[in-house]
């Protein structure tokens, strides 16, 4: 069975070297303000893509090439906080654009925010402190002094739906929206494979053991840099014992007693809905 959590669109192709100056009609822009993007909400559906030329009087940083799709070339640039926005446009966090813009737009916007954050956070070398510059052959920055190459960070994390008969384990984090529950998740540690991460996180957060791990799907989650790898597992033993740090409540729920859970733009919801449909 093929699952499509979150992005179902083909990502941009970062073809290098960067193409020579394309025609104005081929260029599309994502404008980023802090960690939000400019968004035009009318007409519906909205868009985050601005066609060249950019509005007159808009102050932007140096453009950053993102990639291509079909015959279009995509760029990102930052605008200062407090800058006057083009008429009809407003600033919005990317995660709040779900359902307001096409999936293609949301995927490109997320990528733009992530890449600009990478450039901003790696202006200087983490080894020697010298200034870095973008490479022209791949998505990376190179130190101008020691030649150390830095790539955009990707932080792998597991997320697992745990079944026990006709029940599923859902837990609540102190950081979750009020009343919402989710499945167990956590970051991979150095030296662990993903299966070991599943067993450790489940034990740490809810005190049970699991067996029969099955891969479900993966989800890019660039807020700022995660890659979520989803699993389904069966309860093997133990009673729920929450850690009271990352988890403040947890329990077994039937299909008829589910609490509120996250929106459809997440692998969490994909896992839960697949369980509801008895597909996992």
Q: What percent of the chain is predicted at pLDDT more than 70?
A: 96
Phi, psi of 173 (to 5 degrees): -90, 150
* pLDDT tens-digit readout, 35-47: 899 999 887 889 9
CA angle 207/261/110 to nearest 5° reads 105
> Tell me, what's the pLDDT at 157?
97
Which of 256, 227, 214, 272 is CA-nearest to residue 1? 214
**Residue 98 φ then ψ, to 5°:** -60, 125
Confidence of residue 8 (pLDDT cuts 50, 70, 90): low
Average pLDDT, the chain: 91
Closest CA to 154 of 185, 184, 127, 115: 115
The answer to whether 214 and 271 have CB atoms below 8 angstroms apart is: no
CA angle 39/35/98 to nearest 5° reads 45
CB-based contact 143:228 (threshold 8 Å): no
> Could you give all domains of the chain from N- to C-terminal order, each with its CATH number?
24-121 (3.90.79.10), 155-276 (3.90.79.10)
- Among 13-17, 156-160, 268-272, the range scoring the smallest mean pLDDT is 13-17
Between CA 185 and CA 267 the distance in angstroms is: 11
**What pTM does this model have?**
0.86
Sign, CA dihedral 155-264-43-69, equals positive
Number of residues assigned to the chain: 280
**Range of weakest confidence among 94-103, 111-120, 212-221, 235-244:** 94-103
The first and second tokens of residue 3, run together, are 């699952």
Task: Report phi then psi at 117, rounded to 5.
Answer: -65, -40
Cα distances (angstroms) measured from residue 209 to each of 95, 99, 133, 164, 186:
33, 37, 47, 11, 15
Quickly list DSSP for 7-59. Answer: --SPPPB--SSPPP---GGGEEEEEEETTEEEEE-SSSS-B--EESSPPTT--
Listed residue (160, 159, 179, 165) closest to 252, CA to CA: 165
Residue 240 CB coordination number (10 Å): 16
Beta bridge partners of 219: 228
Residue 26 tokens read as 């081929």
Q: Which helix (H) or strand (E) holds 202?
A: helix 194-206
Per-residue confidence at 1, pLDDT binned at 50, 70, 90?
very low
Which range among 32-36, 265-269, 271-275 shows the weakest confidence by mean pLDDT? 265-269
Query: In this predicted structure, what is the pLDDT of residue 25?
Result: 84
In this structure, the number of other CB atoms found within 10 A of the CB of residue 14 comes to 15
């Amino acid at each position: 069975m093929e699952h499509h959590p979150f992005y179902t669109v083909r990502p941009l192709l970062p073809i290098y070297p960067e193409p020579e100056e394309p025609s104005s009609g081929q260029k599309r822009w994502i404008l980023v303000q802090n960690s939000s993007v400019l968004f035009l909400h009318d007409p519906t559906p909205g868009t985050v893509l601005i066609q060249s030329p950019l509005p007159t009087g808009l102050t932007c940083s140096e453009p950053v090439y993102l990639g291509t799709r079909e015959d279009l070339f995509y760029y990102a640039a930052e605008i200062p906080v407090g800058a006057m926005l083009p008429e009809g446009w407003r600033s919005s966090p990317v995660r709040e654009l779900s359902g307001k813009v096409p999936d293609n737009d949301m995927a490109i916007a997320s990528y733009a925010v992530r890449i600009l954050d990478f450039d901003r956070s790696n202006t200087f070398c983490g080894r020697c402190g010298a200034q870095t510059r973008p490479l022209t052959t791949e998505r990376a920055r190179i130190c101008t002094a020691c030649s150390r190459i830095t790539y955009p960070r990707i932080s792998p994390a597991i997320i697992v739906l745990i079944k026990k008969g006709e029940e599923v384990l859902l837990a609540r984090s102190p950081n979750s929206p009020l009343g919402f529950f989710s499945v167990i998740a956590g970051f991979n540690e150095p030296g662990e494979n993903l299966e070991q991460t599943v067993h450790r996180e489940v034990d740490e957060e809810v005190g049970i053991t699991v067996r029969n791990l099955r891969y479900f799907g993966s989800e890019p989650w660039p807020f700022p840099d995660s890659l979520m790898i989803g699993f389904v597992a069966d309860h093997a033993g133990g009673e729920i014992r929450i850690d009271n740090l990352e988890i403040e409540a947890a329990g077994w729920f039937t299909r008829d007693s589910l609490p509120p859970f996250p929106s459809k733009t997440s692998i969490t919801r994909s896992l839960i809905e697949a369980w509801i449909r008895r597909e996992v």
